Amino acid sequence: EAGVTQFPSHSVIEKGQTVTLRCDPISGHDNLYWYRRVMGKEIKFLLHFVKESKQDESGMPNNRFLAERTGGTYSTLKVQPAELEDSGVYFCASSQDLTDGYTFGSGTRLTVV
């Protein structure tokens, strides 16, 4: 079974530019999550999709972040325009059941300079 796949693995962009991160969940997993770890902090929730619907986006930092999951398969997370404080590792995770542990992708390390 293929795991959760994220692309790119690394991205270095300048402040003010746009970056789009992609996540392919495990096939058949309705629940898809985005999390983020910024330097020196714990991993924090950003948002949760159930199929193509946003179930909870309470963790999104501000309106510079836009997540989509068209067709209920892969998801994208766009940051526009990027700021220095957006640097960190963005993890995607998926699960079949809401209370089970999730499977995480290997993350996208974003550096904004």
- 70 is an interface residue for other proteins by CB under 8 A: no
Which residues, in sequence order, are bridge partners of residue 44? 36
15 within 8 A of 113, measured Cβ to Cβ: yes
Using rule CB under 8 A, residue 91 touches other proteins? yes
Interface mask toward other proteins for 20-59; x: CB under 8 A = -------------x-x-----xxxxx--x------xx-xx
Residue 101 in contact with other proteins, rule: CB under 8 A:
yes
Question: Considering only CA atoms, which of 97, 110, 103 is closest in space to residue 37?
Answer: 110
Q: Cα(74)–Cα(83) distance, rounded to whole angstroms?
A: 25
Structure tokens of 59? 């963790």
Q: Give min distance, CB of 52 to other proteins, in A.
A: 15
Among 5, 17, 76, 106, binds other proteins (CB under 8 A): 106
What is the residue type of 78?
K
Residues lying near other proteins in the complex (CB under 8 A): 33, 35, 41-45, 48, 55-56, 58-59, 91, 93, 98-107
